[in-house]
Chain A
Amino acid sequence: MKGFPAAARETLQDSQLRRNLGKATQTIRAKRLRAIGELPDWEQLRDSGEAIKARAMATLPEQLERLEAAVTKAGGTVHWARDGAEAIAIVAGIAEAKGSREVIKVKSLATDEIELNEGLHARGIEAIETDLAELIIQLGDDKTSHILVPAIHKNRAEIKALFERTIAAGQDLGWEATAIAEAARKHLREKFLTVPVAVSGANFGIAETGTICVVESEGNGRMCTTLPETLITVMGIEKVLPEWRDLEVFLQLLPRSSTAERMNPYTSLWTGVKRSHPPDGPQEFHLVLLDNGRTRVLADEVGRQALHCIRCSACLNVCPVYERVGGQAYESVYPGPIGAILTPQLRGLDQAPTLPWASSLCGACYEACPVKIDIPSVLVHLRARVVREEKSKLAPEALAMRAAAKTFSTRGGYERAQGLSKLGRGPLGKLPVPGWSTMRELPVVPESTFREWWRTRGGAGS
Chain B
Amino acid sequence: MRVALFITCFNDTLFPDTGRAVVTVLERLGHQVEFPEEQTCCGQMHFNSGYADDGLALARRFERVFEPYEAIVSPSASCVGMVRDHCPAIADRVFELTELLVDRLGVVDVGATFPHRVTLHPTCHSLRVLRIGDRPRRLLEAVQGLELVDLEEPQECCGFGGTFAVKNADTSMAMLSDKLRRILDTRAEVCTAADNSCLMHIGGALRRQRTGVRAMHLAEILAATG
- Interface of A with B (CB < 8 Å)? 4-5, 8-9, 12, 18, 320-321, 324-325, 356-364, 366-367, 380, 383-384, 386-388, 398, 401-402, 404-405, 408-411, 414, 418, 421, 433-436, 438-443, 445-446, 448-454, 459-462
Contact = CB atoms under 8 A, between A and B. Distances in A.
Given A360-B159, A453-B20, A460-B33, A414 B41 contact: yes
Interface string B40-75: 110101111111101101100100000000000000
Contacts of A405: 46, 51, 54-55, 57-58
A421 B10 CA distance: 11
Nearest to A381: B52
B169 A438 contact: yes
Contacts of A434: 166, 169
B168 A401 contact: no
Nearest to A459: B35
B87 interface: no
Contact of B200 (A443, A451, A462): A443
Nearest to A410: B40
Nearest to B47: A380
Contact of A401 (B37, B49, B157): B49
Closest 3 CB pairs between A and B? A360-B161, A440-B204, A383-B50
A413 B19 CA distance: 21
Contacts of B37: 411, 451, 454
B16 interface: yes
B225 interface: no
Nearest to A9: B170
A320 B170 contact: no
Q: Main SS of chain A's interface residues? A: helix
B61 to A, nearest CB: 6
Q: Main SS of chain B's interface residues? A: helix
B225 to A, nearest CB: 16
Interface string B4-17: 00010101111111
B36 to A, nearest CB: 10
B92 interface: no
Interface in B163-207: 163-178, 200-201, 203-205, 207
B156 A320 contact: yes
B174 to A, nearest CB: 4
Contacts of B17: 446
Contact of A450 (B19, B27, B165, B205): B19
B160 A364 contact: no
A339 B141 CA distance: 41
A456 to B, nearest CB: 11
A414 B13 CA distance: 10
Contacts of B167: 5, 357, 435
Contacts of A4: 168
A107 to B, nearest CB: 28
A176 to B, nearest CB: 32
A321 B173 contact: no
A436 B40 contact: no
A388 B11 CA distance: 30
Contact of A358 (B47, B61, B168, B203): B168
Contacts of B104: none
Given A435-B165, A438-B173, A460 B34 contact: yes
Nearest to B171: A8
